[in-house]
Each structure stands twice: as C-alpha cells, then as structure tokens.
Structure 1
Amino acid sequence: MSSVSAAAAAKDCAVEFTGTKSGYFKLWFVNLLLSILTLGIYSAWAKVRNNQYLYGHTQVDGHRLSYLAQPLQILRGRILAIVVFGGLYLVGTLMPLLLAVFFIGYIFLLPWLIGQGLRFTLRMTAYRNVRFSFTGSYGDLFVHFVLLPMVAVFTMYLTAPWIHKQIIEFMHKSITYGGKPMKVSLRTGRFYWAAFCALGSFLILSLTLGFLVGAGVGISALEDEIPGFVQNGAVLLFPLVYLGMAFVAGVYAAIVRNHLLESLRIDELVSFRSNLDVVGYSWLLATNLLLLIVTLGLAFPITRVRKIRYLCEHTRVFLTPAINDIHNTVDEQHSAFGEEAAGLFDTDFSVAG
C-alpha cells in the first residue's frame, strides 16, 4: 500500500485515559506504605502495579496499553544493581583512586545503562498484544548521550537545541513496533524556535517578577517595613522562581512535542498528531509543581494523572488497516538490571508520562 493510499485509509483515533486522580492516589499511597514497611522490597511490586494502572487506563481504538514486566524481574534487577554499584562505591571509598576510576568508567557505562533501560521498558510495553523494542547500538548511544552533551558545553550551549533534536530523532528511529521501525524527520529550526520562545517567556516572567519586587520594596519603604518585606519576600521568591522555570520548560516541551508527533510514524501503520496549547501545558506543569510543593510531594499521583490526561486529550493517532496484520517479533525475556541500574542514577525511562 502506498503512503498516500495508506494515509487516506487511516482511522482517526483519540487517545483515551480513563484513570482517575483518586483511584491512582489510593493505589500509589498503599504501594508507598507497603514499600516503606518492607524496607523497599515491595517497591518492585509497587512499580509494576502503578505502571499497570497507568498503561491499562490508556487506550487507542478500544485497545489498551499493557505493561508486562514481572515484579520479581524488577526486584532481581534492582538487587543486582544495588549490590554491583554499592560494592564498587564501597571499594572506592576505601581506595580513593579506584573511586576516580569508577566515575570515569561510569561515563562509558552510562550509554549501556540508558540503552538497557530503554530496551527493557519498551519490551515490557505492548499494544494489541504486540511489543515495542529498542534497537539502538552502544556506539550510537555513546555519541548521543556522552559526546554530544560535551559539544553543548564547549559551545556554551548554543548548539543545545540541535543536540536535543539529534537525541530525540535517534531515540525514536531506534524504536520498533512488531519489528516495524519508527520514522521521523525533525527540523532543527523548530527546536531553535522552541528555545527562543522559552527564552522569551523567561524574560517576560523575570521582568514581571522584578517589577513586583520593585513595587513591593517601594510600598514597604513608604511604610518603613522593608526588613519585613525582605524576609517575607525571600520566602516567596524561591517557589516563584521554580514555578517560573516549570512554565518556561513547558513552553519548550509543548512546541517540541507538537513538532515531533507531526513528523512521527511507524512504517506505514501509524501516524500521530499533537495539538498541545503552549500556555495551557506550561500552566499545567507550573500548577503541578505548586501542588507538589504545597503537599510536600504527596500530590505526585495527582500531578501525574493530570499530565497524562492532558497529553492524551491533545493527541490523535491515525491507524491504517495494516495494523491488524502486525505480529509480535520481540522476545519477552529480558533482564531488568539495566533499567534498575539506570534508575539508581536517574537515567530511568518511562513510557507512561
């Protein structure tokens, strides 16, 4: 089937998320308590249950996503990761020279960890009983996650939008669904435009905040309350700065996501569209952060459901009839060590929001 005829026959489908804030909060909170009571052992079951809830409540064309990892898989990988890296760190503290060697070695290990984390998460994700997979090589991972970030530093981050575009393009081109590769062709200019808009919003927010601070100082001077204003203002300033950063990040992320999904397709089977409102998404991220600050992190499940639902509501998926002929080509046996080891260093990867 040609790409033109396939596009004409594609079915326009909404991405539906049926989970609720209260439902996920109850599950998450119980899992958190059990993880604490079992000194972290139950956290593997908690991760599976949380992901199964989020994946299972996300559906396209009447078919739900599935999270297929088993708790014991994750627990074994987690224990192995802690033993290996904990042992290396312990040896390093006794012999500082080896600690330096360990950190240098981690630079070369990082691409493998990221690749294993991506590979495990995608293999444990299925749609219509067909799994995803990741085919990126170590060499490509090293280039995109070690060398290119170094280029950004040496160019004073002027190349950061281009580097981000290269990383996103590589990651998605390395994903397959039922053996069919994802295809994407991104434009560097759109990433620089996203960075320009983010910078513009940062300047506007900074000027607004500066004006408010100046006005506050002026009013306090008239009332001889400058010390009190400075003390109270300092308390409010840091949360406002973080909220502003979340808003700015949302501006960049929304523009990039819209461009990515308009360019993304899986062979001649699936194409996507995203119509995120830049201000709306940025406001969502800022208010989510505010909820986390006010509740000391307890609102995390609520913020996650809010974000996933918003993303789903602003995403369309176009399925061609050929989607019904796809069969699973991925071996389900895969170690969770890479994902859990990556998680120890905040390089974990998740599909669901």
Structure 2
Amino acid sequence: MVDALQMFNARMTSYSNVRFNFIGTGIKAFLIFFIYPILTLLTAYTTVPFLSRANQKFIINNYRLGTAEFHFDSSVGPFYIAFLISLAWIVVVGGLSITITGFNFLEFAHAMENLEHDPTGAMSLIGMFYLLFFVALMPAAMIYFAMIRNIVFNATTLTGGHRFNSTVSPGMLLWLALSNFVVVLCTVGLMIPWAQVRMSKYLAENTALIPAGSLDDFIGTQQSETSAFGDAFTDLESIDVGLPI
C-alpha cells in the first residue's frame, strides 16, 4: 500500500516534462513500515532514530527523476541528536510544567472515567493536559521534524552531483503550527486551506536545489533517455503508445 501510494504520487509528478518514478518493492516497504515499528516498540522507542533513517533511506533511494537516481546517505548520529534534543525538551520543560501545575496523570485518568460526576474538576485537568501538550510535546515534535528535515535534505543528492539544502527553523515551524491551529480553530476549520498553503510556502522558501552543473543539460539528458526507453519498450511490446515515465 505504501509503495503503491509513493509510486502513484511520483508518476503523477513531473519537472520540465520529465516524470518522477518510485521503484520500491512491497516486501521492503512491509519490513520498514510494519515490522520495524514493532521492533522499535520492543526497544521502548530507544531506536526511533534508526527507524526514521530507514524510512527516509527507503523512500528517497527508490525515487527517480527520469532515469536519474536520488541518493540519501547519513549516519544515525544526527538522527539521535535530534531525538535526544526533543526528548530533553519533553523531560525538562514537561517536568517543570508538571511541578508548577501539580498535574497528576493518575488523577487525570480517574477524572476522565468520572467525567459525568465531576465535570468541573475534569475540565480543569483537561485544560492542564492541553497546556502540557502545547508547552512540552508539540514543541518537541516541531524540533524533531525540523531537524530531521534539514538532515535528510542536506544528505540527499541526485545523479550528476546535484545537492539539496533545507534551512527550516524549529522556532518558526512551531510558531506557524500554533498560529495556524488558532486560526483554524477560531474559523471552525474554514481556514484549513490557508493554513496548509502558509506552511507549504514556508517549507518551500527554506528548501533549495544546489546544482552541480547546467540544469538545462541535465533535463535534456533525462528527456532523451526516458524518451528512448519508452520508444524501445513500445517497439518490444508492439504497442504504439508512450510510457508515462
């Protein structure tokens, strides 16, 4: 399912009339997206960085632009740095927040079970829970996402030596997520498209391609190679249609 979705999205996307492609296999996708998460659970999530790197490596290394290959190569060290920084935020900020507010997870669970009998007390605990979420968990998630995105883009290359760069800031990403959430909430969901465009615009503005040479020559090569492959395949199958590659 995952590899089929990636393949569909890739083949429906093109750059200068050169289509993307995805060649990942179902067996490998099953291992990475179903078996590996189970193994990560068995290690009490201490191997999340290995899982993140495996996911990114599988997806990126199986993408193609015409016949050009994407290649991701990074050690697990930077992934662990992002993981530990995010975890440190949760422990330090979350711990301080729990100490200051006196929040108790057992009391919260008990209040949720007896919501009908003590709605006032339950609502108070729910409010504190959401406060902890926005103060500790959500910033940690934005820190991890931003750092991983930068790591992945900066460690990815395309055939010909073309490189990528990402300069996403965790702080700015958190501000966009929080402000988008508030606007969407206040407009009862009507501003969801605006929020999505706003986030996509920021990510695009902080993403760059660093070419190793002429992009015109690169695209011209890919157009000729994919055209030649499509013609050869058509002749082989004796079908007079072009391939969507």
Secondary structure (helix, strand or coil) at the match of 1:176 reads: strand
Q: Superposition pairs for residues 16-31 of structure 1, below 5 Å?
A: none
Q: 1:197 aligns with which of 55, 80, 85?
A: 85
Q: 1:210 aligns with which of 84, 93, 98?
A: 98
**1:281 offset after TM fit, Å?**
1.6
The aligned counterpart of 2:131 is 240
2:15 and 2:76 map into 1 onto residues whose CA distance is 31
Q: 2:197 aligns with which of 305, 311, 326?
A: 305
The aligned counterpart of 1:324 is 219
Relative to structure 1, the CA distance from residue 142 to residue 263 in structure 2 (aligned partners, 3 Å threshold; closer, same or farther) is same
Equivalenced residues, count: 210
Q: 2:4 aligns with which of 116, 136, 141?
A: 116
**1:208 offset after TM fit, Å?**
4.2
**1:167 offset after TM fit, Å?**
1.2
Relative to structure 1, the CA distance from residue 228 to residue 122 in structure 2 (aligned partners, 3 Å threshold; closer, same or farther) is closer
* Letter aligned with residue 308 of structure 1: S
Relative to structure 1, the CA distance from residue 235 to residue 299 in structure 2 (aligned partners, 3 Å threshold; closer, same or farther) is farther
Aligned-residue CA RMSD in angstroms? 2.6
State, as a whole percentage, how many aligned pairs show the same letter: 23
Q: 2:65 aligns with which of 177, 196, 211?
A: 177
Q: Which has the higher contact order (CA 8 A, sep 6+)?
A: 1
Q: 2:184 aligns with which of 282, 292, 297?
A: 292
Determine if contact 1:243/1:290 at 8 Å carries over to the other structure: no
**1:231 offset after TM fit, Å?**
6.1
1:158 and 2:49 are equivalent in the alignment = no
1:117 and 1:189 map into 2 onto residues whose CA distance is 30
Q: 2:30 aligns with which of 123, 138, 142?
A: 142
- The C-alpha deviation readout for 1:57-83, integer Å capped at 9, x for no partner, is xxxxxxxxxxxxxxxxxxxxxxxxxxx
Return 5+ residue gaps in structure 2 as ranges: 104-117, 231-242
Relative to structure 1, the CA distance from residue 295 to residue 235 in structure 2 (aligned partners, 3 Å threshold; closer, same or farther) is farther
Q: Superposition pairs for residues 45-84 of structure 1, below 5 Å?
A: none
1:243 and 1:129 map into 2 onto residues whose CA distance is 44
* Letter aligned with residue 20 of structure 2: F
1:156 and 1:145 map into 2 onto residues whose CA distance is 17
**1:285 offset after TM fit, Å?**
2.3
- The C-alpha deviation readout for 1:188-229, integer Å capped at 9, x for no partner, is 0111111111111212331343355259xxxxxxxxxxx999
Return 5+ residue gaps in structure 1 as ranges: 1-112, 216-226, 334-353
The aligned counterpart of 1:274 is 166
Q: Which runs of 4+ in 1 moved over 4 A?
A: 227-232
1:156 and 1:194 map into 2 onto residues whose CA distance is 17
2:75 and 2:180 map into 1 onto residues whose CA distance is 30
TM-score (norm 1): 0.54
1:293 and 1:205 map into 2 onto residues whose CA distance is 25
Determine if contact 1:243/1:289 at 8 Å carries over to the other structure: no
TM-score (norm 2): 0.76
1:275 and 1:296 map into 2 onto residues whose CA distance is 32
**1:153 offset after TM fit, Å?**
1.6
